[in-house]
Amino acid sequence: MSAEAPTYQENAAVQKKRWIILIVLNLFTFMATLDASIVNIALPEIVKQLGLPVAKVEWVTTGYLMAICAVILFFGKLGDMAGKIRVYKIGMAVFIVGSLLCGLSASLPLLIASRIVQAIGAAMTMANSQGIVTDIFPSTERGRAIGIIGTFVSLGSIAGPSLGGIIVAGLGWPYIFLVNVPVGLIAIVLGWKVLPKDLIRTKAVIDVPGSSLFAVFIIALLGGLLLGQQYGYGNSGILAMLSLSVISFTAFILVELRLRHPVLQLSLFKNALFSLSIFCAFLVFVSNFCFNIIAPFYAQNMLNLSPSSAGFLLMLFPIAMVVVAPISGALSDKIGSEALTFAGLLVMVVAQFGLARLHEGSAIALVGVWIAMLGIGTALFQPPNNSLIMSNAPRAQLGSAGSANSLVRNVGMVVGITVATTILFGVMSREAGYRVTDLIPGRPDIFLSGMHVVFMTSSGICLVSAVLTGWRMISMKRAKKAARRVNARS
């Protein structure tokens, strides 16, 4: 990238409407990430209406996330080549079509197929939204803007159970998808009016081998993990899928290292701050999606709350984020991101540990305290961490960096679901004395035993992330002190 490359900061018209552009991006980012989690609260209702076990209906959520993970790197690279804004606009339309098809689906196979269409549109927007923001906003406001869009990513990821519960109770589960259509059409109209033309494109060819190998890796890995819950990880077919994932990932890395224009710029990960920040983001989404998949079943089946009441209880998470995240984003520009991310992770550790102590007769107020604390911790961590990730990427690779960030987020969601359900059903099977892949009527104690282990595990995951973040914070302070000493001698 030459120093003379045009920038949006030089365009007065774009700068005048940059906050409106951010609103449009946030609106669609919220919807796309919301649909990764909004189905969770509807799963008990879908299980009843379609007469299917939990393990099968889980594919409505995981199929969406798997599809996003399989193609998101491709669309990030395509954004760098063809224009991030162009790809984003097309993705908006594809997502709305997929949402409409989901709402009209009358069977599980059709619903899953429609979710894949929806996921392709979501991947096109997710891969490029953070790059667009980084490109448009000046450096003095970039951290705040990225923090805000990161907040909406987190809100969309976590608000699903709460909003979904209200929609399911009032309108029925198909409307958790159909509500996207009118809101999405408004966002599309606004997007086409306010989003500027692309300025930056890189000359490259599409990395077909790398994109294909990565898609095979994601489908084989996540499919093997999820099917392993139903058929056991000793099954020869499951072992073959997991072996294929290892082979395809190895081949993917070898191909990417040899290509001049790979789908994933591995050079991004040479930056230790970028790599550590993105890994911690992955761990946080694993932990939060352990909560996301378990909490609706606890609220409805253990506390005997209706879908709407469960939704209101779980809404404490996004409410806490709405209050705290803007403060966290503003503070990160003043005091730095390291201390905030560390504090947020410590709060999350305590909250997850508190959730692990809940039981069938727990007071709803106590449940609400732990849920709100989890939201506060996530709000303290997520915006500063997203700012760290994107600020450490070269301008010509913002699409790749944004897609990598979105990739680890969505992989974290799938891994979180897999970890939670594997542990839950594993503990329940041990307690019941036979293989369990569903809730057992009349045995809340067995579910609670599994839930306790899940939340202790998610608390441990947050603790690992906190230790890594604390080490990063101490290392950076030492490096700054050393640099000051060198400057003083000079």
Query: In this predicted structure, what is the pLDDT of residue 243?
Result: 94
Query: In this predicted structure, what is the pLDDT of residue 150?
Result: 65
pLDDT of 366 > 90? The answer is yes
pLDDT band with cut points at 50, 70 and 90 for residue 138: confident
Q: What residues contact residue 172 under an 8 Å CB cut-off, 6+ apart?
A: none
Structural element, H or E, at residue 269: none
Query: In this predicted structure, what is the pLDDT of residue 463?
Result: 95
**CA distance linking residue 232 with residue 25, whole number of Å:** 42
pLDDT band with cut points at 50, 70 and 90 for residue 353: very high
Q: What residues contact residue 267 under an 8 Å CB cut-off, 6+ apart?
A: none
Query: In this predicted structure, what is the pLDDT of residue 154?
Result: 64
pLDDT band with cut points at 50, 70 and 90 for residue 3: very low
Query: In this predicted structure, what is the pLDDT of residue 101?
Result: 93
Q: What is the mean pLDDT of residues 240-248?
A: 93
Query: In this predicted structure, what is the pLDDT of residue 59?
Result: 78
**CA distance linking residue 478 with residue 264, whole number of Å:** 32
- Please report the sign of the dihedral spanned by the C-alpha atoms of residue 88, residue 89, residue 92, residue 94: negative
Q: What residues contact residue 43 under an 8 Å CB cut-off, 6+ apart?
A: 54, 57, 58, 60, 61, 296, 297
Q: What percent of the chain has pLDDT over 90?
A: 18
More confident position, 365 or 272: 365
Give the pTM: 0.73
Where are the alpha helices (H) located in 392-443, listed in sequence order? 398-432
3-state SS class at 5: coil
Query: In this predicted structure, what is the pLDDT of residue 2?
Result: 43
Query: In this predicted structure, what is the pLDDT of residue 440?
Result: 79
**Residue 17 carries which DSSP code?**
T
**CA distance linking residue 160 with residue 154, whole number of Å:** 10
Range of weakest confidence among 88-92, 268-272, 327-331, 394-398: 394-398
pLDDT band with cut points at 50, 70 and 90 for residue 94: very high
Q: What is the mean pLDDT of residues 119-140?
A: 82
User: How many residues would you count in the chain?
Assistant: 490
Range of weakest confidence among 101-105, 270-274, 349-353: 270-274
pLDDT band with cut points at 50, 70 and 90 for residue 244: very high
Cβ atoms of 89 and 164 closer than 8 Å: no
What type of residue sits at position 254? L
Residue 152 tokens read as 């909406």
Query: In this predicted structure, what is the pLDDT of residue 398?
Result: 60
**CA distance linking residue 212 with residue 198, whole number of Å:** 27
CA-to-CA separations, 205 to 11, 82, 445, in angstroms, rounded? 29, 11, 57
User: Which stretch, 138-152, 156-170, 265-279, 323-337, has highest mean pLDDT?
Assistant: 265-279
Which of 51, 59, 57, 45 shows the shortest CA–CA distance to 170?
45
**CA distance linking residue 13 with residue 30, whole number of Å:** 26
**Residue 171 carries which DSSP code?**
T
Which of 86, 93, 202, 79 shows the shortest CA–CA distance to 131?
79
Q: What is the mean pLDDT of residues 7-13?
A: 71
Query: In this predicted structure, what is the pLDDT of residue 394?
Result: 67
Query: In this predicted structure, what is the pLDDT of residue 239?
Result: 92
Query: In this predicted structure, what is the pLDDT of residue 247?
Result: 95
Angle at 154 between CA 151 and CA 155, to 5 degrees: 85
pLDDT mean across residues, the chain: 82
Q: What is the mean pLDDT of residues 91-104?
A: 91
Range of weakest confidence among 93-97, 255-259, 284-288: 255-259
pLDDT of 89 > 60? The answer is yes
Query: In this predicted structure, what is the pLDDT of residue 147?
Result: 66
Cβ atoms of 199 and 6 closer than 8 Å: yes
Residue 434: Cβ within 10 Å count: 8
How does 243-264 read in b/e, with b if 16+ C-beta sit within 10 Å? ebbeebbebbbebbeeeeebbb
**Crossing angle, helix 398-432 and helix 272-297, to 10 degrees?**
40
**CA distance linking residue 188 with residue 211, whole number of Å:** 28
**CA distance linking residue 64 with residue 52, whole number of Å:** 18
Query: In this predicted structure, what is the pLDDT of residue 426?
Result: 85
Helix%, strand%, coil% for the chain, nearest 5? 85, 0, 15
Q: What is the mean pLDDT of residues 28-56?
A: 73
Range of weakest confidence among 47-51, 219-223, 362-366: 47-51
Q: What is the mean pLDDT of residues 462-474?
A: 89
Q: What is the mean pLDDT of residues 416-438?
A: 83
Query: In this predicted structure, what is the pLDDT of residue 393?
Result: 67
| Model confidence pLDDT, tens digit, residues 56-76 | 777 787 788 788 888 888 888
Query: In this predicted structure, what is the pLDDT of residue 1?
Result: 42
CA-to-CA separations, 363 to 179, 299, 360, in angstroms, rounded? 33, 11, 9
Q: What residues contact residue 296 under an 8 Å CB cut-off, 6+ apart?
A: 40, 41, 43, 44, 161, 165, 310, 314
Query: In this predicted structure, what is the pLDDT of residue 9?
Result: 67
| Model confidence pLDDT, tens digit, residues 301-317 | 888 888 778 878 888 88
Q: What is the mean pLDDT of residues 437-461?
A: 87
pLDDT of 28 > 70? The answer is yes
Structural element, H or E, at residue 362: none
Radius of gyration of the chain (CA): 22
Tokens 């997502």 sit on residue = 95
**CA distance linking residue 119 with residue 488, whole number of Å:** 54
Q: What percent of the chain has pLDDT over 70?
A: 87
pLDDT of 78 > 60? The answer is yes
**CA distance linking residue 137 with residue 149, whole number of Å:** 12
pLDDT band with cut points at 50, 70 and 90 for residue 454: very high
HSE at residue 386, side-chain half, CA atoms within 13 A, is 31
Q: What is the mean pLDDT of residues 197-218?
A: 79
CA-to-CA separations, 160 to 43, 288, 317, 419, in angstroms, rounded? 12, 12, 10, 19
